[in-house]
Amino acid sequence: AVKTSGKMGYRFFDQRYSEAILLAHQKEAELRHAVEHDQLVMHYQPRVDVSTGITSSMEALVRWMHPTRGMIEPNDFIPLAEEVGLISRIGEIVVDKVCAQLAYWKRHEQQVVPVSINVCARQFHEADISKLLESHLKRYDIEPGLLEIEITESAMLEKTEEVIRSINSIQEMGIRLLVDDFGTGYSSLSQLQSLDFDVLKIDQAFTARLNTSNESNVLFKTIVSMAHSLGMRVVAEGVETLEQIKVLKAMHCDEMQGFYISRPLPPADTQPIMPKMIFSA
Ligand code: C2E
Ligand code: MG
Ligand code: MG
Ligand code: MG
């Protein structure tokens, strides 16, 4: 603690500081407990074709079901998990839950759509993601075409040898690769091209700005066109209005995701997940 304004100020600061440390330790202990006591669950948000409204995939999003505090969103525990070395363990749990869910859907549904899994940079450094995926696909008897991996653009900035090798073997297995949150990092599309991604997801901030200015629409359209010329499909994230859908259609954006179509849902609520016309025109 830093001595600021005399004895009282020092004590006050010191006390608050130790309370903060205590809370952080408590949260870490609770997260460790959560991980080992099955408090993590997956919700699924559909990604649909812009012109037909047909679900092309579902994004798996992790939630922490806290016994007293209720549902905690990933932004409130994933950063901590990365900091305290729990992210690889969470990654294993997520892959296991998604594969078990896909196996369940294969048994009970006529048609199964692929599921995308979010993987952050730290996970590539701490574990062999491709081995993890390979062993789970085998264990649950799932075709690699039913899995997709989302990697944020910012995670790609540190393209180390091991990350590139891991990404290549994931792709060689037949698992599709998606760039997540495009536009929030500082990479160029040509940098991404060298990694041969299949799909580009444009960050929700760009979708939110659609129709607010001519420049916003031009920028969006430019990203769509460039991605297409590099052979990638394009997804708009965070679609919340019908007006946005109309522009996306005019821009030939391929797929979209957002609260207007569906919030992330517990697996039981995603049925029927099949061809659903959610809008007209
Ligand atoms: P993301 O991968 O970009 O996921 C999209 C986030 O936007 C989700 O938040 C989703 O609920 C939210 N969203 C979807 N549609 C809309 C919309 O129309 N409007 C608004 N305002 N938001 C929308 P969520 O589930 O809280 O996840 C936040 C981030 O946490 C994810 O961003 C992803 O980076 C990370 N995350 C989630 N699950 C996992 C996981 O299993 N592993 C790892 N490593 N990260 C995860
Ligand atoms: Mg994502
Ligand atoms: Mg995203
Ligand atoms: Mg995000």
pLDDT for res 203? 96
Single-letter amino acid code for the residue at 235: V
pLDDT for res 117? 98
Tens of pLDDT, residues 253-266: 999 999 999 999 99
Q: Does the interface ipTM go beyond 0.90?
A: yes
Question: In angstroms, what is the span from residue 206 Cα to ligand 2's centroid?
Answer: 15
Statement: residue 275 has pLDDT above 70: no
Work out the average pLDDT over 142-159.
88
Give the residue, out of 118, 156, 243, 259, with the most ligand 1 atoms within 8 A of its beta carbon, to mutate for a pocket test: 118
Q: Classify residue 185 by its DSSP letter.
A: S
pLDDT for res 24? 82
pLDDT for res 5? 53
State the chain's mean pLDDT as an integer.
89
Question: In angstroms, what is the span from residue 20 Cα to ligand 2's centroid?
Answer: 31
The residue behind tokens 């659903």 is 276
Tens of pLDDT, residues 44-85: 999 999 999 999 999 999 999 999 999 999 999 999 999 999
pLDDT for res 8? 58
Cα four-point dihedral sign 52, 212, 215, 258: negative
| Cβ contact 58:113 at 8 Å | yes
pLDDT for res 85? 94
Tens of pLDDT, residues 28-48: 999 999 999 999 999 999 999
Give the residue, out of 61, 77, 115, 178, with the most ligand 1 atoms within 8 A of its beta carbon, to mutate for a pocket test: 61
Work out the average pLDDT over 203-223.
96
| Cβ contact 166:132 at 8 Å | no
Atom of ligand 1 nearest to the CA of 239: 18
Tens of pLDDT, residues 126-145: 889 999 999 999 999 999 99
Ligand nearest to the CA of 129: 1
Q: Is 126 near ligand 1, meaning CB less than 6 Å away?
A: no
DSSP string, 28-65: HHHHHHHHHTT-EEEEEEEEEETTT--EEEEEEEEEEE
pLDDT for res 270? 87
Cβ atoms within 10 Å, residue 90: 22
pLDDT for res 109? 87
C-alpha neighbours within 13 Å on the C-beta side of residue 195: 30
Minimal-distance CA residue to ligand 1 atom 3: 181
Length of the chain: 281
Atom of ligand 1 nearest to the CA of 201: 3
Q: Is 121 near ligand 1, meaning CB less than 6 Å away?
A: no
Q: Is 264 near ligand 1, meaning CB less than 6 Å away?
A: yes
Question: Helix or strand or coil: residue 106?
Answer: helix
Question: In angstroms, what is the span from residue 21 Cα to ligand 4's centroid?
Answer: 27
Question: In angstroms, what is the span from residue 107 Cα to ligand 2's centroid?
Answer: 26
pLDDT for res 22? 79
pLDDT for res 221? 97
